[in-house]
Amino acid sequence: MKNAVGRDIPEELLVNGKEVYQGKNYLDGKYIQKAGPKTRRYEKPQESKIVDSLAQALRDCGAKSGMTFSFHHHLRDGDYVVNMVMKAAIEELGLEDLTIAATSLGSAHDPIADYIEQGKVVGIQTSGIRGRMGEVVSAGKLKTPAIIRSHGGRPRAIEAGEVHIDIAFVAAPTSDCVGNCRGIGGKSDCGSMGYAMTDAKFADHVVVVTDCLVDFPNYPASVEAIDVDAVVVVDSIGNPKKIASAAARISQNPRDLMMAEDVARVIASTPYFKEGFSFQTGVGGPSLAANLFLEKLMDERNIKMGWAIGGICGPMVELLKKGKVGKVIDVQDFDLDAVHSINQTPNHFEMSASQYANPANKGAFVNKLDFVVLAALEIDTDFNVNVLTGSDGVLRGAPGGHPDTAAGSKVCIIVTPLTRGRMATVCEHVVTVTTPGDCVDVLVTDYGIAVNPLRPDLIECLDKAGIKHVTIESLKEKAYSLVGRPDDLQWEDKVVAVLEARDGTILDVVRKIKPYKL
């Protein structure tokens, strides 16, 4: 069945009430029954929950074949925990048919590709999938289609019982002996632990994995002992160099700077750019640089930002410290400046993924967002964005909070160069729709700005401010005139990944890629 973004969704996926994407806010006002975990009572006073090994923790939590284990990605490409746990489960306990439900996965998890090929891991639910894992899933080697969800879609699915987590593993930079966890104070600090919070509340069992045991009580805790079954102390939970970069530096690339300045000018042309406005931006070159130009415009107009959310890095912390933003609320930290600031700098707070972006709760931050600035691998003439699959159709990206912030914000700006190498970024049809075009308002490229015709109000704002803009079709034609029009990708029928919209409907599917023959 074709959905609202024109993607053909196979009927066999539309079972148990699953629907195709119908447009944004389709399920607004509907009631859901939240699922509760089945958890063990710890009535008798307990000195410590520390167990000797991951294998022991798995046995204590009743680990068996067919279970779903959850992970969070605050240790980013430095994470050791996913591989460690899966090795213990598969190689020590001999478990099979396991599903990994992670908030995101990256190239740090290449070894999991082997378990997929061996048929030990049969399900993947994640926001991001990259590296070898992306390749083996795209090659059709995972037994069931991977399920890709946004950061808001995941807590929604967990709360609705669509994902049942048997054991949640919390990678904790510090923990005490009963499992109060924090993201700072250890040797592998990550700052916010926002993505682990919903998992810990809704999993049947929770195992904390830490490399820095601290005195009880480790407070204020991000994940609390009341939800934790076992604590495992290991030598190292991750490579600090890959967890957080020293400091996210603002790009000096003139192309990035030009686009960033245009982003800031677009923002300043709208009526939402006023005292107390709210903002989120990414850490990519032009997105991050937008901070710089926005600050100048804020100074010129003598206004301050009310609050900022998102993955946070140094430049935003800097604005907070200068008093130019009122509050920063943070689900993940990208550099050491942000890691060392959360819960330390006044008005820099932590939040859960659900608070951040869940479309089914009653007050997600994204719904109050004025502006979000996001990147894209591809964007098509309907303003649909792809941040998941590469130009070869292989899984190598992550929707993350992209669809959530785009849907919730008043102005969603996509910033991307028109071409990357030989690939047209602005194209006729994106390989995979990860953020539907009805949530995307403005596209800023190095070759011009385009406004979604669904937003005549923004077109008027840009015209009034004298900001030139063109149609997205003309940008697409320019891109093709520079790098050529690519041939269509060749797919097999087999669906290797299902892309869920944040509300749980099906936005798109990724099929097995047909090997290319010359």
Partner 1 sequence: MIPRPKPQKDRLRRTMMFMNAQKPGLIKDAYIYGCDSIMLDLEDAVAENQKDSARFSLYHALKTIDYGDTEVIVRINGLDTPHWQEDIRVCVAGGADGIRIAKCESAQDVITVEKAVEAAEEEFGVEKGRTLLMAALESPKGILNAYEICAASDRMLGVAISGGDFRKCMQTKPTRDGIDMVTARGMMLIAARAAGVQCFDTVFTDLDDEEGFRAEVQQNKAMGFDGKSLINPKQIRYVHEVFAPTEKEIIQAEQMVSAFRENAAKGLGVFTVNGKMVDIAFIPGAERTLRLAKACGLYEGDLV
Distances (CA, A) of 342 to 201, 330, 346: 22, 8, 9
**Is residue 373 near partner 1 by the rule CB under 8 A?**
no
**Binders of partner 1 among 321-360, rule CB under 8 A?**
none
**Shortest CB 260 distance to partner 1, Å:** 11
Using CB under 8 A, pick the residue from 82, 101, 223, 257 that binds partner 1: 257
**Is residue 421 near partner 1 by the rule CB under 8 A?**
no
Using CB under 8 A, pick the residue from 27, 35, 258, 423 that binds partner 1: 258
**Is residue 262 near partner 1 by the rule CB under 8 A?**
no
**Binders of partner 1 among 279-308, rule CB under 8 A?**
none
Task: Name residue, tokens 């792809």.
Answer: 386
Q: Report how far residue 347's alpha carbon sits from residue 331's, in angstroms, rounded to the nearest whole number.
A: 14
The amino acid present at 412, given as its one-letter code, is C
Whose Cβ is closer to partner 1: residue 2's or residue 296's?
Answer: 296
Using CB under 8 A, pick the residue from 29, 94, 363, 466 that binds partner 1: 466
**Binders of partner 1 among 469-488, rule CB under 8 A?**
482
Select the span of 66-74, 152-160, 255-263, 303-311 touching partner 1 (CB under 8 A).
255-263
List the strands of the sheet with 146-148, edge to edge. Answer: 50-51, 230-233, 205-210, 167-172, 68-71, 98-102, 121-126, 146-148, 491-500, 506-513
Sign for the pseudo-dihedral over CA of 131, 133, 136, 138: negative
**Shortest CB 481 distance to partner 1, Å:** 8
Q: Report how far residue 105's alpha carbon sits from residue 131's, in angstroms, rounded to the nearest whole number.
A: 9
Whose Cβ is closer to partner 1: residue 208's or residue 259's?
Answer: 259
**Shortest CB 473 distance to partner 1, Å:** 18
**Is residue 17 near partner 1 by the rule CB under 8 A?**
no
Whose Cβ is closer to partner 1: residue 226's or residue 467's?
Answer: 467
CA angle, corner 401, sides to 399 and 405, nearest 5? Answer: 120
Using CB under 8 A, pick the residue from 224, 229, 261, 438 that binds partner 1: 261
Whose Cβ is closer to partner 1: residue 225's or residue 290's?
Answer: 290
Q: Report how far residue 342's alpha carbon sits from residue 348's, in angstroms, rounded to the nearest whole number.
A: 5
Question: Which one, of 359, 362, 328, lies nearest residue 344 by Cα?
Answer: 328
Pairing of the two strands 385-386 and 378-380: antiparallel
**Shortest CB 446 distance to partner 1, Å:** 5
Question: HSE-up of 8 (CA within 13 Å, CB side)?
Answer: 4
Number of Cβ atoms within 10 Å of the Cβ of 480: 16
**Shortest CB 466 distance to partner 1, Å:** 5
Task: Report phi then psi at 437, rounded to 5.
Answer: -60, -25
**Shortest CB 451 distance to partner 1, Å:** 18
Using CB under 8 A, pick the residue from 349, 447, 480, 491 that binds partner 1: 447
Per CB under 8 A, residues contacting partner 1 are 254-255, 257-258, 261, 446-447, 466, 468, 482
